[in-house]
Amino acid sequence: MAASATGAVRVWIPKELYMALLRIQVSENLDWDDACQKAATLLDEGSEKYAKLLKREAEKLYSSRFMQQFNRARKSIAEEAYRRGYRDGYERGRLDHAIWYYCAICGGKIYVKPNSNSHMAIIKYMREHKWGHTTCHKKSNNSKP
């Protein structure tokens, strides 16, 4: 066994201990010194240092799960608001710009798809029966002798 100026000691350790240290190092993305310190803390489970480490790990896990749930809820609310806004905007646009006429029997609105055969028939009917703007009819009446 040899001691260096940094306080490190060079020793031969059993393969099982080496593998355990490697697992700690890889699972928590630690460098070798930090993995050894964590292993030393874990070996002394009754210590106050171990209890603090355990509590810190639990808080970290809790906060990450809490944030995941929080972000999931926030995303869900945003998606629902988007869907509702799109649906409401679409419906409002449809009502503002829809082509319709009243049913002669029940009086309800009959919606016509733009540029459909029904729509073209309505346009043709209105043209044949001289439908027009009020201002255009006034101009037309004023120009007649």
pLDDT, greater one: 137 or 22: 22
Q: Cα angle at 80 between 75 and 82, to 5 degrees? A: 95
Q: How many helices and strands, by DSSP H and E, does the chain display?
A: 5, 4
Q: Which residues pair with 109 in a beta bridge?
A: 102
pLDDT tens for residues 32-88? Answer: 888 888 887 777 766 777 678 778 887 887 778 788 888 888 889 999 999 999 999
Q: Which residues pair with 9 in a beta bridge?
A: 3
Q: Which amino acid appears at position 86 of this protein?
A: Y
pLDDT tens for residues 76-128? Answer: 999 999 999 999 998 888 888 888 888 889 989 888 888 899 899 998 998 99
Q: What pLDDT sits at residue 120?
A: 92
Q: What pLDDT sits at residue 1?
A: 45
Q: What pLDDT sits at residue 133?
A: 84
pLDDT, greater one: 2 or 61: 61
Q: What pLDDT sits at residue 88?
A: 92
Going through the chain in order, the beta strands assigned E by DSSP cover: 2-3, 9-10, 99-102, 109-112
- Give me the chain's average pLDDT, please: 83
